[in-house]
Structure 1
Amino acid sequence: MKTAFVTGATSGIGRAIALELSRAGYEVVAAGRSAAALQALAADGITPLVLDVTDRNAVRQALSGLRIDLLVNNAGIMPPLANFADAELADIDAAIAVNLSAVVALTRLAVPQMRERGSGHVIFTGSAAGHAAFPNMAVYSATKAGISGFAAALRADLAPHGIRVTEIVPGRVETALYQHILDPEARAAMYASKSVQPEDVARMVRAVVELPEWADVTRFDIMPTRPATPVSR
């Protein structure tokens, strides 16, 4: 049985992906910071792992001796929406640490074993904000643009070894990402028309990983059919 390691699995896209991969026959290790949310996943046969992805020592220990066939780098945060000139340095540092630095470090620990085996798959949850400019999202956009560039260059490094790399580029997905930075009225306006659901993204991920190993979907964009306010992920 193949093993999938999914970060940010306590809610939203990460949780949906963990459940879908479990249904697809993967042994899933679901990592996140909420023990209660992870325990709920354990009831579905998923292995919970309480983990702060910015803790380098904890991540190294968690991956030690663990075979990873599929790595899903999904953990991410949204800093407060604001003009960059008003952004707090602590919020900037946190977004870069979680959304970019931790992703690069975790991937560095996981891919050598894939290269040794000559197979594996690395998936990144990016964002439409990494490919287009939106106001009040400069730092978030920078981290997601960094993920896009990293994914493309990583693919160039690893493709000769039979390792696939995929970037997910979601548009408006109904998740808890904005729960603490938008008031209920703003969230209601954002989701006034039907948004992409986390389960929709998860089904696309399953379709991608179930392709034969000689086929690599390098990037897929998933957007709501009907437009709304220009806010991503």
Structure 2
Amino acid sequence: MSVFNSSRLLGRNVLVTGASAGIGAAGSNVILCARRLESLKAVAEACTTAHKESGVKEGGNFPIVQLDVSDKQQVASLLDKIPENLRKVDVLVNNAGFVLGVERVGTIADSDIEAMFSTNVLGLISVTQLFVKEFKTRNAGHIINVGSVAGREAYAGGSIYCATKHAVNAFSGSLLRELVDTNIRVTEIQPGMVETEFSIVRFRGNKAAADKVYEGLQPLVAQDIAEEIVWAASRPPHVNIAELFVMPVNQASPTINYRGGK
């Protein structure tokens, strides 16, 4: 994901899970968390370079924390791994999540089911619980959950992934209602087709199969979603973008799209 300027995020501390694909906000300090350490290092370097080129003086710290959100012990010790001067997190972006396979019910491996739920649902909830306690003490903070069009409409071959993203949608909605008497904001970003490593992981490394998912149309790219996240986070304090549904112009649902050529 790329860089997007916003004066309201200057000097703010943003923590992003699943950040090995990269996200940065110019003027913010971004704590990058993911399982893959080498990828995190590359993202941190890219964020540092982008911040220098922006000429913005505020922020510019991009510490990395190796984190598997499905590991409860790692989540419990997360705050201790964040530099002390950045532990007052202003924005939490729950971006960690993935899909495995296109098998249908009856043929889905238990390990795939457990892996998707452990990361997409249980991991997201664990990290949110960790930070919402601190947000409540300050009566401030913003929780941004990355959902999916799959959390709005189910489709064949995606039963488990759709179930996890429907859970994220329900969790986000409940959290929004639970925090209505606070100044804590809750946002769910719901992307449609986004060309990242997502489909390569789904097809277990088969890039040819992954490329066919986007064949004939122009999908979203990671930068598009990064900009929507930063836009939502940079609204005035009294404004909350509860849901933001974003799709390519030639997609209308998980199964309805136009492939007339890019």
Q: When the two structures are superposed, what TM-score results if normalisation uses the length of structure 1? A: 0.91
Aligned length: 224
Offset, 1:189: 2.2
2:193 equivalent to 1:172: yes
Contact (CA 8 Å) 1:63, 1:110: kept in 2 or not?
Answer: no
2:163 equivalent to 1:139: no
Moved more, 103-112 or 173-182: 173-182
Relative to structure 1, is the Cα distance of residues 32 and 174 closer, same or farther in structure 2, using a 3 angstrom cutoff? same
Relative to structure 1, is the Cα distance of residues 226 and 41 closer, same or farther in structure 2, using a 3 angstrom cutoff? same
* SS in structure 1 of the partner of residue 251 of structure 2: coil
Larger of the two Rg values belongs to structure: 2
2:229 equivalent to 1:227: no
For structure 2, list consecutive stretches of 5 or more residues without a partner in the other structure.
Answer: 1-10, 49-60, 257-262
* SS in structure 2 of the partner of residue 224 of structure 1: coil
Equivalent AA in structure 1 for residue 13 of structure 2: T
For structure 1, list consecutive stretches of 5 or more residues without a partner in the other structure.
Answer: none
2:19 alignment counterpart: 9
Relative to structure 1, is the Cα distance of residues 124 and 223 closer, same or farther in structure 2, using a 3 angstrom cutoff? same
1:189 alignment counterpart: 212
Paired with 2:235 and 2:42, the residues of 1 have a C-alpha distance of 29
Offset, 1:231: 6.3
Q: How much identity, in percent, do the aligned residues show? A: 29
* SS in structure 1 of the partner of residue 169 of structure 2: helix
* SS in structure 2 of the partner of residue 152 of structure 1: helix
Contact (CA 8 Å) 1:75, 1:99: kept in 2 or not?
Answer: yes
The 5-angstrom pairing of residues 53-132 of structure 1 reads 53-64=69-80, 66-132=87-153
Could you tell me which of 181, 187, 211 is aligned with 2:235?
211
2:8 alignment counterpart: none
Contact (CA 8 Å) 1:171, 1:231: kept in 2 or not?
Answer: no
* SS in structure 1 of the partner of residue 161 of structure 2: helix
Offset, 1:188: 2.4
Paired with 2:213 and 2:70, the residues of 1 have a C-alpha distance of 30
Paired with 2:67 and 2:254, the residues of 1 have a C-alpha distance of 32
Q: When the two structures are superposed, what TM-score results if normalisation uses the length of structure 2? A: 0.81
RMSD after superposition: 1.8
Deviations 1:13-71 (A, max 9, x none): xx1xx22x2x1x21110000111111112321411111111121221211246221100
Moved over 4 A (4+): none
2:53 alignment counterpart: none
Paired with 1:171 and 1:2, the residues of 2 have a C-alpha distance of 28
